Amino acid sequence: MQKPFMRIPYTGPLPPPTIVPRNANTPSGAIAALSAFLAAPFTSYQSPTEHDHNAQTVLLTGAGISVASGLADYRGTNGTYTLNKTYRPIYYNEFITNHEARKRYWARSFLGWTNLYKARPNSSHWAVKRLGELGILRSVITQRRSPVKEPKQESSWIFTQLADVDSFHPKAHPDLPTIELHGFLRSLVCVTCHNHLPRATFQESLSSLNPAWAAFLAEMLESGALDTEHPDERRKKGLKTNPDGDVDLPDAPYSTFRYPACPTCLATPPKLVDGTRSIVKVDSDGAWSPTSTAGILKPAVVMFGESIAPAVKAAAEEAIDNAGRLLVVGSSLATYSAWRLVKRAKERGMPIGILNIGGVRGEETFFADVTPANAGQKGVRCSESADKILPVVVGKLQETMGDRTQDARRMSSPAE
C-alpha cells in the first residue's frame, strides 16, 4: 500500500536559477520565452484524442503569486525562510496534541487574519483568468486548496500549493476549476467530526473569548501596524510576519489566549475510534477545555507533517496526466507534494515552464535535456515577478491569436 504524501518543507539551500533560454534573463526576454512556451503546438508523448490538446496547460502556483497582493511568502526576496533562518512553522502533530501550541497558533492567527481577509487578487490572478478564457490554460493546481470539484472532460484545473490564505484563484476565476493542494484558511475543520466552520464566525468567537486581545488588535489596526506584511515594515512596529496570517508578537502572553470548541461536537459529542463517546467541555465563557477528548478545530489546511487527502492527490495527478505542458508560477517547489507533480510531468515528457524569483528545488533536472536552440517552446525558466510578466504575456498571446483569427477568416472568405 502506497504511503500518503505529507507536506514537509525542504530546508536545504536552493541554488540560483539557470535561466532557460539564456535571453530570458530580462523582463522582455522572459515575456518572449513564456509567450512562445504557451503558444507552442501540442506535441504529445501520448496520442491525442481531442483536437484541442494543444491548449491543455496545467498551472501550478505557490505563495509567490500572492506577494503582489501584500501577503508574505516563504522563500522570496523578503520571504520568511530568507530573512528568518530560525523560523519553524507549527507541525500537525504538535497542533493536535498540544493545547498550549494551539493557544499560541490561534493568538497569532487572530492578529493576522484581518490583513488576509482584506487582501485581494493581483494582476497575476487576473492574467490566469484571461488565459483560461483564451483556452490556453486548461488546469490550475494551487498550493492552496478549495473543495475538490469533480473533473469534467473538457475542464481546466489550477493547482495551488500553499494553504489558500486568500482564496484568490476561486475569487479571480470561479469558472476555472481549481485544486487547492494544501488547503485553505477561509474555514476551519473539526479533527473529530470533520464539519467545517467559517473562519469569519470563528474570528468573532475568538474576539468574544479574548477581549484584551481584541482591544489590542483594534489598536494595531487603527495605528496601521497590520496594513502590510512586508517584514521590514512589521519589524519597525515590533512585529514579526510569517506566511498564512501568522503575526509573531515577541513576549506576548500567548498562554492567556482561549479558543472555542467545535459547535457540532459540543452539541452532540461524537463517538471516538474505539467506540466510546467523546467528552467535549467548555468553560463558563465557551472556551474549549483541555479535559475534552474531542471538539478541536484546526484550519482547513494541510499542515506541515500532515497527509494530503487521497482525493486531492488523485485529482492533482489526473490533471498532470491529462495536460500537454506544465507552468509553475511563484513556487520554489520546496514541499515534496508539489515537487513530485513537476517530476511526474517531466517523466511523462511534458515541457515545463517556471516563473519564480530565486531558486527552485531540483530545477536542474527539469531542463537538462532542453537544447540551446530552444526559444521557449520546449521549456522556460525565468526569475521575474509574475505580476509584472504574466499580464504582458497575456497581451502578446491575445494579439497573436487575434492575428491568426483574422488570417483564418481571410482564408475562408470566398475569392472576389
User: What is residue 13's predicted lDDT score, i.e. its pLDDT?
Assistant: 73
Are 308 and 337 contacting, i.e. CB atoms less than 8 angstroms apart? yes
For the chain, the first-to-last Cα distance in angstroms comes to 68
The residues, ordered by sequence, that sit 6+ positions from 365 with a Cβ below 8 Å of its Cβ are: 343, 346
Instruction: Give the pLDDT confidence of 121-146 residue by residue, as tens digits.
Output: 899 999 999 998 988 887 678 764 33
Instruction: List CB contacts of 372: < 8 A, sequence separation 6 or more.
Output: 21, 22
Nearest to 21 by CA among 31, 11, 6: 31
Burial bucket for residue 135 (CB in 10 Å: 0-12, 13-18, 19+): middle
Q: What is the pLDDT of residue 197?
A: 97
- Amino acid found at 193: C
For residue range 32-74, list pLDDT tens digits in order. Answer: 999 999 999 876 554 444 444 434 799 999 888 887 777 666 6
The C-alpha cell 488576509 sits at 116
Do the Cβ atoms of 145 and 167 come closer than 8 Å? no
Q: Are the C-beta atoms of residues 146 and 119 closer than 8 Å to each other?
A: no
pLDDT digits (tens, 9 = 90+) for 214-253: 999 998 888 777 766 555 555 555 565 555 556 667 778 9
Rounded distance between C-alpha atoms, residue 167 and residue 184, angstroms:
7
- Pairing outcome for strands 183-190 and 196-198: antiparallel
- 171 vs 248: CA distance, rounded Å: 28
3-39 confidence digits (pLDDT tens):
555 555 666 678 899 999 999 999 999 999 999 999 9
- Quick check: 182 and 143 in contact, CB under 8 A? yes
Which of 347, 396, 300 has the alpha carbon at shortest distance from 30? 396
Q: Is 228 or 414 the better-scoring residue by pLDDT?
A: 228
Q: What DSSP letter does each residue of 254-278 carry, written as one string? A: GGG---BPPHHHHHSPPB-TTSPBP
Task: Identify the residue with better confidence: 58 or 401.
Answer: 58
- Pure H helices in 211-358: 211-223, 231-236, 263-267, 310-321, 336-347
Longest dimension (CA), the chain: 87
Using alpha carbons, list the distances in angstroms from residue 30 to 26, 35, 386.
6, 8, 10
Find the length of the chain.
416
Cell of 118: 482584506
Q: Is 136 exposed, middle or buried (0-12, 13-18, 19+ CB in 10 A)?
A: buried
pLDDT tens digits, 163-189: 444 467 667 776 777 888 888 888 999
Tens digit of pLDDT for each residue in 344-386? 999 999 999 999 999 999 999 999 999 999 999 999 999 999 9
Q: Are 140 and 176 contacting, i.e. CB atoms less than 8 angstroms apart?
A: yes
DSSP conformation class of 290: T
Active site residues: 182
Q: What is the pLDDT at residue 53?
A: 44
CB-based burial of residue 368 (10 Å sphere; 0-12 exposed, 13-18 middle, 19+ buried)?
Answer: exposed
